[in-house]
Amino acid sequence: MEQKKVVTRFAPSPTGKLHSGAYRTAIFSYLFARKNNGKFILRIEDTDKERSTKENEGNILESLNWLGLEYDEFFRQSENVNRHKEILEKMIGDGHAYISKEEAKDGSGIIKEIVRFKNPNEDVSFVDEIKGLITMHTADLGDFVIAKNINEPLFHLAVVVDDFDEGVTHIIRGEDHVSNTPRQILIQRAIGAPTPIYAHLPLVLGDDKQKLSKRKGALAITEYREQGYLPEALLNMVSMVGWNPGTEQELFSKEELIKEFDLAKVHKSPAVFNQEKLNWLNKEYIKKLNTEVLKNKIFEFLPIELQNEKLIPIISDRITKFSDIKEMVANKELDFFINAPAIDISKINYKDTAPEKTKEYLENVIKILESIPDFNLENIKNTIMEYANTLPSRGEVLHPMRFTLSGLEKSPDPFTIASILGKNETISRLQKAI
RNA sequence: GGCUCUAUCGUCUAACGGUUAGGACGGAUCCUUCUCAAGGAUCAAAUCAGGGUUCGAUUCCCUGUAGAGUCACCA
């Protein structure tokens, strides 16, 4: 028997920005399709005209693009209403649905012709790829509404018809949809559509252990981008919530994820999204960046006067996300590069070293520095350390030197700063302090 | 409340019914140039509870407890 080609879809409604919870279902659908050489469809579910916006649709497209989840086909549900209407009419003709004249729920008193599904009231069972056999009674659902009127289909009807027409074989979606599944299966049976394979993913929770949502402060994918997270870090992070390949590997490229992905290993239980781990992953991916990309990313967050390649190493080691650079700048951590710092002379001595001694050390440091022909990091470090090692404590010379150059209690080491500043500026600052 | 689902370190997780219950993030301690960062090392930290089944349960079954999702003319 020939294996049917796998078709998955991601079907967000453009009623908000795309956040990690929704994005996780997108990536699992994507990975599963790619893993099986199948097709990945993006379908915008915009049948709710009041809440859907073009901005949100744009945000979804942008997010998917940024993360590298390319889709093979694109649909907009609102463009299928004629097809929905056709099915609706057929269902009414078949007796599977009927028009019901009812007063509008908003209390306006207007009588509307809504379409209700004729519920056969039978128990519905389906085997979920992740959760196993699920059985539900549908009698208590009653004759649920499937269209506001013949021209305005509602979620359940539209989803079933579109999935059928688009040949979707695997519906991978959030667990919040399990209770919708029996309704949709009932509609499938009524219109003679096959029931696809369902895989309901455990939810992604926030710190409060509640479903991640816009209201709960879940960050939109585009907000992560604006904060200077790398798409590969977010992709890696989100892929590993609710699933992992069972090895001890932590870092995965998109290709590796596709290779390893296995629906059978997806968890049944919900998981909390761990920001700290995302930060760590992001740092790992920053380390992997090639120098040119790294430079561009860093400069993006740096004021013109600080856009100097010499600062890249001390910045890249000190950030977890690129927006951290803004804080470094705000805290004046990089000011030593453009201005000789105004130093608080009372803090220049190492512990209780006498000021005269500190002065002597600094004078010696200048002599040593002057004698260095090639003023680079290695040479500075070697010669100064050689001198510092002759003292009871290396801090007696390292501290005043570093403090003089940076003006900060916490800063990169004195050798690095000196090499960035260059010989003349370094010596001039030391002289001033003396 | 009805229905559905879930339960291993604080968090993400690993463990054909047999392991000193493993890894990662975070935390603590130490080392590595005074400090910061980075790096290295070490440590603390978990099987929700109670019953079964079994020679043996984290693992299978039942009950309880706790948590989550969902109950629209939203999706």
User: Considering just the CA atoms, what is the radius of gyration of chain A in Å?
Assistant: 31
Q: What distance, in Å, lies between the first and last C-alpha atoms of chain A?
A: 87
Chain A residues 391 to 430 whose Cβ lies within 7 Å of strand B are: 393-395, 398-399, 402-403, 408-415
Identify the pLDDT of residue A143. 95
A302-to-A150, A296, A309, A323, A421 alpha-carbon distances in Å: 56, 10, 11, 10, 18
Q: Positive or negative CA dihedral for A112, A115, A120, A126?
A: negative
Check whether residue A176 has its CB closer than 7 Å to nucleic acid strand B: yes
Strand B lies under 7 A from the Cβ of residue A22: no
Whether the Cβ atoms of residue A309 and residue A337 lie closer than 8 Å to each other? no
- Measuring CA to CA, which residue among A311, A353, A342 is closest to residue A404? A342
Whether the Cβ atoms of residue A208 and residue A41 lie closer than 8 Å to each other: no
For helices A355-370 and A377-388, angle between their N-to-C axes, nearest 10 degrees = 140
Handedness of CA A90, A94, A96, A99 (dihedral sign): positive
CA neighbours closer than 13 Å in the CB half-sphere of residue A377: 7
Q: Give residue-wise pLDDT tens across range A347-397.
A: 888 888 888 999 999 999 999 999 998 889 999 999 999 999 999 889 999
B10 C1' to A248 CA distance, Å: 21
Nearest to A376 by CA among A419, A415, A417: A419
How confident is the model at residue A115, as a pLDDT? 96
- Taking 50 as the pLDDT cut, the residues of chain A under it are 1
Say yes or no: Cβ of A183 under 7 A from any atom of strand B. no
Rounded Cα distance between A153 and A173, Å, is 21
CA A54 from centre of chain: 22
Nearest amino-acid residue to B7, taking CA and C1': A269
Give the torsion sign (CA, A245, A202, A168, A192).
positive
Q: Is the CB of A155 under 7 A from strand B?
A: yes
Quote the ipTM score.
Answer: 0.93
Q: Which residues from 233-262 of A have any strand B atom under 7 Å from their CB?
A: 240-244, 246, 248, 250
Give residue A256's Cα distance to chain centre: 18
Pairing of strands A145-149, A111-117: antiparallel
- Strand B: which of residues 70-99 in chain A lie with Cβ below 7 A? 77
Match 């801090």 to its residue by tokens.
A395
Specify the pLDDT at position A300.
95
Strand partners, A149: A152
pLDDT at A217: 64
Check whether residue A105 has its CB closer than 7 Å to nucleic acid strand B.
yes
Q: Is A351 left (phi over 0), alpha (psi -120 to 50) or beta?
A: left
Nucleotide B67: nearest residue by CA–C1'? A209
Q: Which nucleotide does the CA of A142 lie closest to, via C1'?
A: B71
Supply A262's token pair. 């296995």
Instruction: Say how far A267 CA is from B59 C1', in Å.
Output: 15
Chain B bases closer than 7 A to any CB of the protein = 2-8, 10-15, 22-26, 33-38, 67-75
Determine whether the distance from the CB of A45 to the nearest atom of strand B is below 7 Å: yes
CA of A218 to C1' of B35 (A): 36
What does the pLDDT read at residue A224? 95
CA of A84 to C1' of B22 (A): 53
Establish whether the CB of A108 is closer than 7 Å to any nucleic acid atom in strand B: no
Q: pLDDT by residue (tens digit) across A56-80?
A: 999 999 999 999 999 999 999 999 9
> Is A35's CB less than 7 Å from nucleic acid strand B?
no
